[in-house]
Amino acid sequence: MTDPARTGASGRLDARIPAGPIAQKWERRRFEMKLVNPSNRRRYTIIVVGTGLAGGAGAASLGELGYNVKCFSYHDSPRRAHSIAAQGGINAAKNYRNDGDSVWRLFYDTVKGGDFRAREANVYRLAELSVNIIDQCVAQGVPFAREYGGLLDTRSFGGAQVSRTFYARGQTGQQLLLGAYQALQRQIAAGTVTMYPRTEMLDLVVVDGRARGIITRDLVTGAIEAHVGDAVVLATGGYGNVYYLSTNAKASNATAIWRAHRRGALFANPCYTQIHPTCIPVTGEYQSKLTLMSESLRNDGRVWVPKKAGDTRPPAQIPPEERDYYLERKYPSFGNLAPRDIASRAAKEVCDQGRGVGPGGRGVYLDFSDAIQRLGEATIRERYGNLFEMYERITGENAYRAPMRIYPAVHYTMGGLWVDYQLMSTIPGLFVGGEANFSDHGANRLGASALMQGLADGYFILPATVPDYLAQHPLDALDASHPAFAAARREVEDGVRRLLGVRGGRSVDAFHRDLGRIMWELCGMARNDAGLRKALGEIPALREDFWRNVRVLESGEELNQSLEKAGRVADFLELAELIVIDALHRTESCGGHFREESQTPDGEALRDDANFCYVAAWEYTGTPAQPRLHKEPLVFENVPLATRSYK
């Protein structure tokens, strides 16, 4: 189903990267792109699925340009998109601190941070646009932190050596999303955007090889509907919940991109998952999600575990010489600020050695006692008060007295649908933005750069590239009666009926938990050949059991949360297999993907540029077990390939 012109027999993918020096590529492409006459825009219908930073900003901006936008979200309000949960901040190369930051440095840090598995041209454009994002958000009234002089404040985040992170207390994501949401509401009032809340996309409709619409289910009435458009934008977020327990919102899922994948969109680097080092550890079976403690805590907290295994003394009774401040020991120059993937793996390592703390031994201490002695409790309270409060709320423990207990948790998925420089997938007319695409973070995302990417895609890139596509490809008018729509609609209806028809004995959550356990144990922070092969046995078995044994009560003609979950878990059960296949095929270690077979003598990730310097884009062939691999070679002309060392 993928357009042969764009994925040759060799499987080579054309990323359509503009020619010329990297700093001029975006400028040049903007000029190359075709425009749509303002008076004609209203005649084009653009379907945007998702109202997070990418979707919300995109739908609002496209509506503003005069296109007829139909915007979808399974949430009750666009404002609930998972972007709301982002805490830390958003990067931008404003260099307000005069500390040597620049577009080039942000570009360089992001490519290096991504462990040289991202596309240079995209990353440069991202860095370039970062400055416009801040301007746009401030104009909308996003209340970023400010200095006493009234100018914007910034901080250093996630181990960056420059202070380029803009933030809004501990809720940057909420404030940025409200900015986009309000812009979207403005367009809804103006009539350019039609909003469909509580409406879930369940399939993509492709006509003559082009994306022409979607099939949706009204989550309140259960009505299945077809929506026709001239282009479809997916901004549906990440799929971290394939692990069941993650920092993602409960409803975050892969259904939209997975159904698009089944319709022919290639899925890139599915195995690149980011495990965040500072989350609140699991307390029991009933655990429903994991809570992130902002990375900023690592600026003042010291991470340690007891030196000897099985030491169950309360932390206060463990003398300094019997503590192992392992990050400071292993990474003297970065210490507690070592990048996420590295800090997470280190935590797993010490816990595997039986030196973990807290119930279940799956935790490490994040200790503020030194900082409190040095700066006083008042300062710490002022810096992290809300986070300490959140910790107390959840654990009932006072982190001013005893150290926090933290453990890594699945946080972000760098993989996603493959897109070219225009953010168009391998299905012409299907665009993908935000966490749902694979684009800019390579094998590991730096802190505060996902918000940046979501907004760059939404405010600036999609509103330029989607119209270019519309201008270049006149499409013949069609309506929902077209056979392709009728067929897709029938498939969706059958899918719903099938789920309700199983009438098995186990709840959807039970299956989701099992899947999560398999993925976390066999395809989590560290992966190896044997484990991955084991997973490849267990996942299809679980999938079969799901279809024989899942219990979904009530009907399809009403608000039915079990039914919603069931559809999503069914897709996770297929995606999981692809993730494992990708992880198995990539025998190198890079960023968030650590293959135990590929490490340096002292246990650091060992990249294999000779064999794996490419994007792995998988094509769906009809059976989840046999996806076809396409490779997009990565060339580094501006940032020389180097080993990423934080020692």
Partner 1 sequence: MNLTLRVWRQKSPRDAGRFVTYEATNINAHMSFLEMLDVVNEGLIARGEAPIAFEHDCREGICGSCGFMINGVAHGPRRGTTVCQLHMRMFRDGDVLTLEPWRAAAFPVLKDLIVDRSALDRLIQAGGYITAPTGSAPEANSIPVPKPDADLAFDAATCIGCGACVAACPNASAMLFLSAKAAHLNLLPQGRPERPDRVRRMLAAHDREGFGNCTNHRECEAACPKEISFLFIPRLNRDWVATGLRARRAAPAPSVA
Catalytic residues: 340
Distance CA 280, CA 231 (A): 41
Interacting partner of 643 out of ligand FAD, partner 1, none (Cβ under 5 to 8 A depending on kind) = none
State the nearest-atom distance from the C-beta of 564 to partner 1, in Å: 11
Distance CA 275, CA 348 (A): 11
Strand partners, 49: 72, 234
Q: Are 293 and 280 in contact (CB under 8 A)?
A: yes
Residue 412 identity: Y
Region from 31-39, 72-80, 280-288, 528-536 binding ligand FAD, contact rule CB under 6 A: 72-80
Q: 183 vs 234, which CB is nearer to partner 1?
A: 183
How many separate helices (H) and strands (E) can be counted in the chain? 18, 20
- For residue 551, state whether it binds partner 1 (rule: CB under 8 A): yes
Distance CA 465, CA 451 (A): 20
Residue from 9, 19, 39, 148 in contact with partner 1 (CB under 8 A)? 148
Chain centroid to CA 209: 27
Q: Are 515 and 569 in contact (CB under 8 A)?
A: yes
The structure tokens listed for 210 are 């082009």
Residues 236-255 touching partner 1, rule: CB under 8 A, are 249-251
Residues 6+ apart with CB under 8 A from 103: 23, 93, 124, 127, 128, 130, 131
Interacting partner of 434 out of ligand FAD, partner 1, none (Cβ under 5 to 8 A depending on kind) = ligand FAD
Q: 84 vs 580, which CB is nearer to ligand FAD?
A: 84
The structure tokens listed for 541 are 């078995």
Alpha-carbon dihedral sign for residues 138, 141, 145, 148 = positive
State the nearest-atom distance from the C-beta of 372 to partner 1, in Å: 24
Print the binding letters for residues 173-212 with ligand FAD: x by CB under 6 A, - otherwise.
x--------------------------xx-----------
Q: 306 vs 434, which CB is nearer to ligand FAD?
A: 434
Residues 211-250 touching ligand FAD, rule: CB under 6 A, are 235-238, 247-248
Interacting partner of 77 out of ligand FAD, partner 1, none (Cβ under 5 to 8 A depending on kind) = partner 1
Distance CA 622, CA 94 (A): 47
Residues 303-332 touching partner 1, rule: CB under 8 A, are none
Edge-to-edge strands of the sheet including 628-633? Answer: 416-417, 267-268, 614-619, 628-633
Residue from 86, 242, 366, 488 in contact with ligand FAD (CB under 6 A)? 86
- For residue 546, state whether it binds partner 1 (rule: CB under 8 A): no
Residues 374-433 touching ligand FAD, rule: CB under 6 A, are 411-412
- For residue 113, state whether it binds ligand FAD (rule: CB under 6 A): no
Residues 161-200 touching partner 1, rule: CB under 8 A, are 168-169, 171, 173-175, 178, 181-183, 185-186, 188-191, 195, 197
CA dihedral of residues 394, 396, 398, 403 (deg, nearest 10) = -70
Q: Which residue has the tokens 């909420």?
A: 174
Q: 80 vs 119, which CB is nearer to partner 1?
A: 80
Distance CA 357, CA 360 (A): 8
Q: 72 vs 304, which CB is nearer to ligand FAD?
A: 72
- For residue 444, state whether it binds ligand FAD (rule: CB under 6 A): no
Ramachandran angles phi, psi of 456, nearest 5°: -60, -50
Print the binding letters for residues 45-74 with partner 1: x by CB under 8 A, - otherwise.
------------x--xx--x----------
H-assigned helices in 335-416: 340-352, 369-375, 377-395
Distance CA 127, CA 90 (A): 12
Residues 420-479 touching partner 1, rule: CB under 8 A, are 459-460, 463
Interacting partner of 621 out of partner 1, ligand FAD, none (Cβ under 5 to 8 A depending on kind) = none
Q: Are 1 and 208 in contact (CB under 8 A)?
A: no
Edge-to-edge strands of the sheet including 90-91? Answer: 90-91, 165-166, 154-155
The structure tokens listed for 198 are 């509580």
Cα–Cα nearest to 439, from 111, 83, 135, 29: 111
Residue from 75, 227, 441, 595 in contact with ligand FAD (CB under 6 A)? 75
Distance CA 304, CA 283 (A): 20
Region from 6-14, 149-157, 348-356, 636-644 binding partner 1, contact rule CB under 8 A: 149-157
Print the binding letters for residues 105-134 with partner 1: x by CB under 8 A, - otherwise.
---------------------------x-x
Q: What is the DSSP letter of 298?
A: G
Print the binding letters for residues 511-530 with ligand FAD: x by CB under 6 A, - otherwise.
--------------------
State the nearest-atom distance from the C-beta of 78 to ligand FAD, in Å: 6
- For residue 513, state whether it binds partner 1 (rule: CB under 8 A): no
Residue 52 identity: G
Distance CA 1, CA 377 (A): 61
Q: Which three-class secondary structure state does DSSP give residue 593?
A: strand
Residue from 17, 33, 138, 484 in contact with partner 1 (CB under 8 A)? 138
Q: Are 252 and 240 in contact (CB under 8 A)?
A: yes
The structure tokens listed for 562 are 């079990």
The structure tokens listed for 627 are 């996806």
Residue from 102, 299, 369, 507 in contact with partner 1 (CB under 8 A)? 507
Region from 60-68, 78-86, 298-306, 610-618 binding ligand FAD, contact rule CB under 6 A: 78-86
Distance CA 314, CA 433 (A): 47
Residue from 25, 70, 82, 565 in contact with ligand FAD (CB under 6 A)? 82
Print the binding letters for residues 31-50 with ligand FAD: x by CB under 6 A, - otherwise.
------------------xx
Rg (CA), the chain: 24
Q: 4 vs 149, which CB is nearer to partner 1?
A: 149
Q: Are 64 and 38 in contact (CB under 8 A)?
A: no
State the nearest-atom distance from the C-beta of 520 to ligand FAD, in Å: 16
State the nearest-atom distance from the C-beta of 33 to partner 1, in Å: 15
Interacting partner of 53 out of ligand FAD, partner 1, none (Cβ under 5 to 8 A depending on kind) = ligand FAD
State the nearest-atom distance from the C-beta of 509 to partner 1, in Å: 7
Summarize as ranges the residues that interact with ligand FAD (CB under 6 A): 49-55, 72-75, 81-83, 85-90, 172-173, 200-201, 235-238, 247-248, 252, 255-256, 292, 411-412, 434-436, 448-451, 454
